[in-house]
Chain A
Amino acid sequence: MTKEACQRYLEDPEANAAHLQTCAECRAVSAALAEKNDVKPASIDLNALPLAPWEGSSYRPWPLVLGITAVVVAVALALCDAAGLSPLHVAESSLTSMEAIRGLIDRATASLRGASLVWQIAFGVAFLLVNALLIVLLRRSPRGIDA
């Protein structure tokens, strides 16, 4: 058989099905492919597989979420009312804790400025070491999904 006919059959087997009756080579290839296709993959029991983290994750149970949020907000408001606090006072108290952290850093900076050169160099070395360790730890790729 000519190579052109074989090529036409390989490009479109359904349209040139009659070619198989005249070409033994293509018939052998076709039979081998059919045998391979007969091999079925082993059946997988989906329920036996572990639950993936994304399964059911997009579900939004609004009654539960809104209910719990409303209860928490109501309890917080009732406690604030009982204690005689306004929401402004709560915001002020959280800002006060930020100010405390700021004061701590200011004091540390002032003591560093007043420290001897050896201590300043030691601080610089500690700064470099901690940040180098941070970079080393950040270079590790996350493995949550592969684990």
Chain B
Amino acid sequence: MRRMLRLFLPLTVVAGTLVTAMIAAPPNFGVQAPNTVAEATAMLQKTAVIAALLAVWMIAAVALTLLSGREIRYSSVEMRASALHCFALGLVAVTSFALTAIVFCYLIPYHVGLPLLFALGVFAILTKIYGLVAVFHAIGTLVAGSRTREQLQRRNWLRGDLAMVVIGVLVLGALRLIPIVGPIIWGFASVFGIGTALATKFGRREPWFLAYRLHLS
């Protein structure tokens, strides 16, 4: 089983990456400067919307880290320790969300589809929010985390979960503003985040399923 997983995981990652790239990549890769005033206004509006959403992400990330910093840290550590597993799990989870949403949509005429679809949507959004905050923490720790104990003691501001999350939002937000590449990076971060959130059960490190044991006594 383990050998099969070892073979299957890289294959899943490669296949999923190709599919994601095909979906996410725009048909025209050329970066074009705005030629008219209308194009420039549209570009400014797009940048303003992204910046506003980044500000909302910043506030949400700070609030979530204040509420459950330990869980965010556990998820961040898990992502750095087994990144491939988190990415594969994220790809499979996103595919599963999409297929399950189609099945629930199929069930809407039978009255059970709508509440199920609503519950799935809420779960998916919460998973993405939690997971992205864990990604912010991981990126912040990779970029600005202390490497040694002396370095940690010397620092006055740049330490702690909150600072790492804020740095992570800044770094990923700056990447998000790059045309074409930004949304793809953000999409990959979302896949990583969803995988990490599910792999650690939202930082609680509990098993998702009960282990059944046969008692012969």
Contact = CB atoms under 8 A, between A and B. Distances in A.
- Real complex partners, A and B? yes
B108 to A, nearest CB: 8
Contacts, number: 177
A82 to B, nearest CB: 6
A134 B209 CA distance: 12
A64 to B, nearest CB: 4
Contacts of A60: 160, 162
A32 B67 CA distance: 53
A30 B14 CA distance: 66
B199 A140 contact: yes
Interface in B64-107: 69-70, 73-74, 76-82, 85, 88-89, 92-93, 95-96, 98-103, 105-106
Q: Which 6 A-B pairs have the closest CB atoms?
A: A59-B160, A144-B78, A79-B48, A144-B77, A147-B81, A109-B105
26 contacts: A46-B149, A51-B146, A51-B149, A53-B77, A56-B146, A56-B152, A61-B162, A64-B157, A72-B55, A72-B58, A75-B55, A76-B48, A80-B48, A80-B52, A83-B48, A84-B45, A85-B52, A94-B53, A108-B105, A109-B106, A112-B102, A127-B103, A130-B99, A133-B92, A142-B74, A144-B200
Interface of B: 5, 12, 41, 44-45, 47-49, 51-55, 58-59, 62, 69-70, 73-74, 76-82, 85, 88-89, 92-93, 95-96, 98-103, 105-106, 141, 146-150, 152, 156-163, 166, 169-170, 173, 198-200, 205, 207-209
